[in-house]
Amino acid sequence: MFGVTTEDFIEENVNTMKHTLFILQIFLFSIVFGQNENVEELQFEFEADSIELNVGETKELTIKLLNEDGDLSQNSFYVFGQRRALSVSPRTSDSTGIATVTVKAHKPGRLRLSVQSITVKRDDRVRDKLVVNVPFPPIDHIVFNQTPSKLYTETSTSFSVEVIDEAGLTRDNADVKLKSSNTAVADFDIFGNLETKRTGRVTVSATVEEITESFKVRVVKNTTRQVTLSIDTEEIRTGDVLALNAKALNRSGRTIEDAPITYSYIGQADYGEFALPAAGLVTDDGRFVAETAGLYTLIASSGGYSAQKIIKVVPREVKKQVTLVGHGLISDVLTGDLWVWAGVDKHEGKDFAVTGTWGSNGEAYFWDVTNPDSMIIIDTITVDARTVNDVKISEDGRVGVITREGASNRKNGFVILDVSDPYNVTISAEYNDDMTGGVHNVFVYENHVYAVNNGRKYDIINIDDPKNPFRVGVYELDTPGHSIHDVWIENGIAYSSNWSDGVVAVDIGGMKFDEADRSQSQFNPLLAKAGQGSPSNPVKLASMGDPTGRNHAAFPFLSKSTGNFYIIAGDENFPWGVLATKGQPSNPRGGYHFLNFSDPDNPKEEAIYEVPEAGSHNLWIFGDILIAGNYQGGLRVVDISGELLGDIYKQGREIGHYLPYHKKGKIPNAPMVWGAQPYKDYIYFADMNSGLYCIKLEDIKKDLGTP
């Protein structure tokens, strides 16, 4: 054997035998623990069939989880308030199966208070809900999005209003009537645009129920006599953002600073013989991006005058060849997350990986991936759990952390490992204090574990001594019905994903930078606000909610090419259930939202990457490249260089993708990519149905033809 010493050969064969014994242990464990459970028939009993609260009111309520004999089940359960609408405390019952909770209403509507038993197996969970009726408070006032005192003739201005009720809440479903007092001067169309016709004065009003708000506006003569349009280039690629610099000029050639300018485009896509429409996006502030190659005419208009420029859009041409380097098949259980790291001490120069398992028997597999074309399992750790959802390794490559959900004794949490010798991984400590419901995700940063606890908060555990961990801090939102899924840390800032509450950035030891330290191209603006937080005193820096309620992942991205700072927020949505039909592939949906946090106090979504008819899960950024686990859509590698705007998927920014079909998968030929990690010259990723993969990106060899 080339390059293999006798010592290495003996060590690898010994560890192969160790792995065989572990597999036997797992098999016996699954028989005893996983397959022969006698599941109790449980049901919830609420003190009332439904309750009614006004916004801001509270009510105490007793909930019981009973067995088939009508006695307390001796099982704990969760209590959930509807996200952003109901808060409830406490959120977990006692161990006998009873909870007396205080419910508070924060929004009106027909709301839900949900309960769910804590079980070993996901499929054994018992759920129920109580209806909480919260009447709508009376409307208090109306606020216009703008109240200009002057408008020009022959223009269109968009108006919207915010309706506020007596509880200070915005009424999103209010039926607002917009009206002009003189329709000969200006009138509203059905979309809320006020179109001015001639000079004069008019009162603009908004009415909902018995409340009216109004303001006066003067319509003056539009003195625009010319529109100019300038651009920096006449050729761009698909996905490139082009600024349209337009001005409205009067008869004397002076700029009319407040003249409204509208932008549009027409185009012909480059489809060879077919003259089909081109697709792109132009914003109100004059930014254009194309999805298809072709010729585009860009138009700026004001007061009946317009200017135009013709540009050529060429394909982005970022495709690379995705080559499979190696694959480690796991088909008897579902694979969870992964982490790849460099060996230390006697294993320096070698590379290793760890993968978790989902809904299985509590295993974490350790791999030697030094030769990625022949990755092998070298050790297995088995803990009391159904799911080892997350796996992380410390920065120094010596400490590992694996999560636990579905423990047989309901004592979930996480397990700290000594991974300095990946061939002989040992357990240093277990941590399960106040973690009955389980830890779904963790992050290890500067000798602290940030553990997402019960889907409600993240606890911060000091592991300076991995054998003696202790809690030093907690971060939990104070919003009604809040929940959390994941946390990721860079430069002392924790980025959490919080479903309806969206992304939240928290200072847990970020080094504060003054404005004088700001680089023109490379600066995370959140660091300008940091400097007060620590693991024992986490301090919120910024956030942005998710109106869909599906924020599942968050990853910071400082663009190397523009200096813009984003938090990329990933969706997760299972419209037909996590496991729609037993033995059949899941069919999730979702995408990645690019939230521009260059101004942390005013973040805004500017772009999205969403693969049609596929789900999204975990992501990673390296350089200006996104690598994403897109479940049944496979592994995706995406160019995110330059300014980002619009639908990235349609702009030809995809560098490559890999669909891991495997006939021997847990579900055969059913890709279900969990997540990926760049490491050295490779990309490693985990597929739920078929294990660990390694790929590399290569330039596509152009066919020069046959001589």
pLDDT at residue 220 in the model: 96
pLDDT at 31 over 60: no
Peptide bond into 90 cis (omega under 30): yes
The structure tokens listed for 46 are 């609420």
Confidence of residue 453 (pLDDT cuts 50, 70, 90): confident
Give me the mean pLDDT over the 593-613 stretch. Answer: 97
Give the length of the chain. 707
pLDDT at residue 235 in the model: 98
pLDDT at residue 23 in the model: 41
pLDDT at residue 1 in the model: 30
Percent of the chain with pLDDT over 90: 81
pLDDT at residue 704 in the model: 54
β-sheet with 673-679: strand ranges across: 321-328, 691-698, 682-687, 673-679
Beta-bridge partner residues of 163: 142
CA-CA distance, 141 to 138, in Å (whole number)?
Answer: 10
CA distances from 519 to 505, 514, 515, 525 (A): 21, 11, 9, 10
- Which amino acid is residue 251, in one-letter code? R
Give me the mean pLDDT over the 174-179 stretch. Answer: 94
pLDDT at 408 over 70: yes
| Ranges 57-61, 103-107, 511-515: which has the least confidence | 511-515
The predicted-structure confidence for 141-157, as pLDDT tens digits, reads as follows 999 999 999 999 999 99
Buried residues in 510-532 as b, exposed as e (16+ CB within 10 A)? beebeeeeeeeeebbbbbbbbee
How far, in whole angstroms, is CA 392 from its chain's centroid?
Answer: 19
Grouping H, G, I as helix, E, B as strand and the rest as coil, residue 80 is: strand
Strands 161-165 and 235-237: unpaired
Beta-bridge partner residues of 339: 354
Percent of the chain with pLDDT over 70: 91
pLDDT at 331 over 50: yes
For the chain, what is the mean pLDDT?
90
CA-CA distance, 632 to 572, in Å (whole number)?
Answer: 13
CA-CA distance, 236 to 160, in Å (whole number)?
Answer: 35
For residue 18, what is the enclosing H or E element? helix 6-29
* 672 touches 662 (CB < 8 A): no
pLDDT at 121 over 60: yes
pLDDT at residue 20 in the model: 43
Confidence of residue 410 (pLDDT cuts 50, 70, 90): confident
**What structural domains does the chain harbor?**
43-134 (2.60.40.3450), 139-220 (2.60.40.1080), 226-314 (2.60.40.10), 318-698 (2.130.10.10)
pLDDT at residue 193 in the model: 94
pLDDT at residue 577 in the model: 80
Could you say which DSSP state residue 35 is in?
A: I
Give me the mean pLDDT over the 383-398 stretch. Answer: 96
Give me the mean pLDDT over the 94-115 stretch. Answer: 94
* 75 touches 409 (CB < 8 A): no
pLDDT at 13 over 60: no
Nearest to 626 by CA among 239, 292, 237: 239
Residue with tokens 């993708």: 657
CA-CA distance, 207 to 229, in Å (whole number)?
Answer: 39
CA atoms in the 13 A half-sphere facing the CB of 257:
0
Confidence of residue 22 (pLDDT cuts 50, 70, 90): very low
β-sheet with 50-52: strand ranges across: 50-52, 127-134, 109-117, 77-81
The predicted-structure confidence for 216-259, as pLDDT tens digits, reads as follows 999 999 999 999 999 999 999 999 999 999 999 999 999 999 99
Cα–Cα–Cα angle for 406, 98, 69, nearest 5°? 85
pLDDT at 28 over 50: no
- Residue 263 burial (CB count, 10 A): 18
The structure tokens listed for 500 are 């309806």
The structure tokens listed for 610 are 């969403």
| Ranges 175-179, 322-326, 461-465, 509-513: which has the least confidence | 509-513
Strands 287-290 and 280-282: antiparallel
* 507 touches 531 (CB < 8 A): yes
pLDDT at residue 271 in the model: 77
pLDDT at 607 over 70: yes
Identify which has the larger pLDDT, 285 or 409. 285
pLDDT at 106 over 80: yes
CA-CA distance, 584 to 308, in Å (whole number)?
Answer: 54
CA atoms in the 13 A half-sphere facing the CB of 46:
18
The predicted-structure confidence for 575-602, as pLDDT tens digits, reads as follows 888 764 567 888 999 999 999 999 999 9
The structure tokens listed for 318 are 């970022």
pLDDT at residue 581 in the model: 56
Prediction pTM value? 0.88
Beta-bridge partner residues of 262: 301
pLDDT at 19 over 70: no
The structure tokens listed for 519 are 């680089």
pLDDT at residue 436 in the model: 82
pLDDT at residue 270 in the model: 85
pLDDT at residue 586 in the model: 87
Nearest to 367 by CA among 381, 382, 383, 351: 351
The structure tokens listed for 561 are 């090419």
Beta-bridge partner residues of 658: 635
Contacts of 506 by beta carbon, 8 Å cutoff, 6+ apart: 475, 493, 494, 495, 496, 533, 538, 539, 540, 541
The structure tokens listed for 43 are 């049901």
The structure tokens listed for 181 are 């007092």
| Ranges 278-287, 342-351, 404-413, 629-638: which has the least confidence | 404-413
Contacts of 275 by beta carbon, 8 Å cutoff, 6+ apart: 268
Q: Phi and psi (nearest 5°) for 499?
A: 50, -115
